[in-house]
Amino acid sequence: MKYIVITGGVMSGLGKGITAASVGQILKNKGYDVTAIKIDPYINIDAGTMNPFQHGEVYILKDGAEVDLDLGHYERFLDTELTSEHNITTGKIYRSVIEKERRGDYLGSTVQIIPHVTNEIKERIRDVAAKSEADICLIEIGGTVGDIESMPFLEAVRQMHGEESEENLVFIHVTLVPLSLLGEQKTKPTQHSVKAFRELGLSPDIIVGRCKEPLSQETKSKISLFCDVPVEAVISAHDAEDIYLVPLLLEEEGLGDFLMKKLHLTPLESRMEWRQMVERMSSLQRKVRVAIVGKYTHLEDAYLSIKEALKHAGIDLSCAIDITWIEAEDLEVGGTQCLDGVDGILVPGGFGVRGTEGKICAIKYARENDVPFLGLCFGMQLAVIEFARNVVGWKDANSSELGETKHPVIDLLPEQLGVEDMGGTMRLGNYEASLKKGSLAHKTYGTTKIVERHRHRYEVNPRYIEQIEAKGMIFSGRNKDRMEIAEIPSHRFFFASQFHPEFTSRPERPSPPFRAFVKAMLG
């Protein structure tokens, strides 16, 4: 097994995740099977309880794991499916070590960071790599060198470096190369970051410099001299118009060739699908404007997978996507005039009462004005509530999650009631749904059986289904008593899903609901 460890210096948010995903895409294009592990040094067990304002979106894997959004980059760039084992956190490691200590697995030893915690980290990395049956395993260590939380993980990979042969483990260090006020590329932050890296007993094999403009040859030579890496191993990762251009940019910088040499590998083939997809992106012929009505719209990373799924559909249909971000609460006070002229309206998921009425206003606008509508998760539940209020006539219809109501059209199913563990009632990960023949859902997917990823707790209340369907909204996707898809056949395009189709969308294989939504916007 070959390992590539990606670390970061100077500051967080430099793009280690995109760099790691791009490295994987480069290696995949050369014919190798690649898997990826994201190490998050926070003490949380997973990302499920984190505020999107602080952490961006919570990405859901097929087994229901709630993880960092970088794993979404891995799945999209590598066109693969990962599991909870591919996300290692301090919380997971310490919980496992403590459980082993309580069971007596350490035979009375004093349990310490070295060797017990570092052994646990190495064991998990190697287990995931072995189970994947891949040729190469990417390991991204979150945070920056020097963070106290990262120390056990950096020590673990230092030990792995001594245990593996030299050609089996490569370190890529991502640093910032800022510009001075006079526009000069400054290498001191990189030098200090590499110095801190070396103080931990680690040496980078490759330095990826994040910068606004391409690194000059003079800058590369200076980094090479001061950081003791070959000039060919100093890679410019300058700003790109789109993240899907990054693998091609890094390949042009020679990263793929240097990795092949460093890992003692030879290219097995030369795949061109990614390059062809990027070329299609550069020749999009049309444009549609979609309004995304949410509660975290000033932090676009909170809806990262939705943005990417729209982009995937646009590439497939030769159409650029112009997103208008609308804060749901603004609709509650300012009205829906901001929706005039949009080609489609998308209401994403989200927990809690804030912004709910604004989202309902947007759904009503879409329904009454025959504007293509896509609702996701909570967006589907609110579509049912809006229909129940304004078409069926239950003016107080609501979700029991949001307060007392005479008509809880969204509620917990009987088997969920009385369960105190919040995770115990959450539906997470892959679930199957059966689609009604001849429905929009059936036409969209081209099949009557689908599997999609979920992250929700409340459901459409089965008591109200017959009355709602009698008024014109049908539930065309079901999993027993659970309603998976709602649609309005008389509408041009009104599709809402309890699941999150954005998590299974890929650049070369767009999500069917997103593709159908964009196609409807094109008219």
Cα–Cα dist 335/145, whole Å: 48
Cα–Cα dist 346/410, whole Å: 20
Among 55, 312, 456, 500, the active-site one is 500
Vertex 297 angle, CA 292 and 300, to 5°: 95
User: Exposed e or buried b for every residue in 77-115, given b needs 16+ CB within 10 A?
Assistant: bbebebbbbbbbbbebbeeebeeeeeeeeeeeeeeeeee
User: In sequence order, what E strands does 284-407 have?
Assistant: 286-294, 319-327, 344-347, 373-376, 398-399
Helix (H, G, I), strand (E, B) or coil at 472: coil
Q: Which of 477, 305, 487, 467 is nearest to 383 (CA)?
A: 487
Cα–Cα dist 233/258, whole Å: 7
Greatest CA span in the chain, whole angstroms? 75
DSSP letters, 151-166, are HHHHHHHHHHHHHS-G
Residue 212: Cβ-neighbour burial (10 angstroms; 0-12, 13-18, 19+): exposed
Catalytic status, residue 502: yes
**How far does CA 411 lie from the centroid of its chain?**
28
Q: Which of 145, 163, 108 is nearest to 14 (CA)?
A: 145
Contact 4, 28 (CB under 8 A): no
Which residue in the block uniquely carries the two structure tokens 């490691």?
A: 93
Among 120, 253, 377, 456, the active-site one is 377
- The tally of CA atoms less than 13 A away on the side-chain side of residue 202 is 31
Pull the structure tokens for residue 463. 């008591």
- Phi and psi torsions of 160, nearest 5°: -60, -35
Number of helices (H), then strands (E), belonging to the chain: the values are 18, 21
Pairing of strands 398-399, 344-347: unpaired
Q: Provide the 10 A C-beta neighbour count for residue 272.
A: 10
Catalytic status, residue 161: no
Catalytic status, residue 500: yes
Which residues 6+ apart lie within 8 Å of 416 measured at CB? 425, 457
**Residues forming the active site:** 377, 500, 502
